[in-house]
Amino acid sequence: MTYKPDLSPDTEGLQALVIQPDPYCPIDRLGPWLHDEGITTRTIQPFKGEVIPDSIQQDALVVLGGDMSSLDDHVYPWLSDIRRVVADAASRRKPTLGICLGAQLMAQTFGGTVTKGDRGLEAGVAQISWRAEAAQDQLMAGLPDPFFAGAMHRDMISQLPASAVWLGVTAQYPYQAFRVGEMSWGVQFHPELSPAVYRQWLTLINQTDVVTKERARSGMKAFENQDRIVREHTEALARRFAYLVRITATVAAK
């Protein structure tokens, strides 16, 4: 899916605030896709001591994944700062995308719970099935079903916020996609992920558990074999998100 973005003077200079909690979880493919749509990015890396703002001044928010758990506030106190800015973005109707750890932090922000995954590591390529509610969702409606995307996580969202709309599931873990309010989406999968970054993650796995290691390794093979469809599907989601950023900014400017 490639096309020249329809940019108007009303939407020039748009920017997304990107929070990257982990040095090995970059924005990857998502950055170029947003840039293609006229949306620049400003990345904050709290692991370097960079400060997460109390309030978002940009037009959108993206919270990336990370190897830490969303339960690790005692080790990473800035996790609470991420939750605060996620809440602020929602209150300002800024389009927000929480990815994996970002989705878990979003769930916690609005009253959901996160626990250790009870079905082990989900890795490789996730096959997401959309629930009926997705057909009415501004971001997910019309996306391929099933939807293929990269995956790598151990924790799970065990309970969605009471106010959340549940959008997508996989066979391994149910809460793969949800929306809170009008403009805050959480996805347990990784729509930004490329095989190159997944391959790097594979080298960083320090697990003695044979099942976990094998799932990660076989996931790499699946990703390489299915990368064409993964890229097609996740690019569609990314460009839809960018469209919503532009539309929301246009309405706010009037």
Could you tell me whether strands 14-19 and 164-169 are parallel, antiparallel, or unpaired per DSSP bridges?
A: unpaired
- Choice among 25, 37, 122, 192 that is catalytic: 192
Phi/psi of residue 140, nearest 5 degrees: -95, -20
Instruction: Establish whether 192 is a catalytic residue.
Output: yes
Active site residue 214: no
Task: Catalytic residue, from 25, 37, 100, 153: name it.
Answer: 100
190 is catalytic: yes
Q: Which of 25, 122, 153, 190 is catalytic?
A: 190
Work out the number of other CB atoms within 10 angstroms of the CB of residue 133.
16
Say if residue 146 is preceded by a cis peptide, omega within 30 of 0: yes
> Which tokens belong to 155?
């924790």
The Cβ of residue 205 has, within 10 Å, a number of other Cβ atoms equal to 16
Q: Residues of 149-175 as b/e, b for ≥16 C-beta within 10 angstroms? A: bbbbbebbbbebbeebbbbbbbebbeb
Is the alpha carbon torsion for 123, 197, 86, 148 positive or negative?
negative
Answer left, alpha or beta for residue 142, where phi above 0 means left and psi between -120 and 50 means alpha. Answer: left
Given CA atoms 65, 67, 69, 74 in this order, what sign does their dihedral have?
A: negative
Active site residues: 100, 190, 192
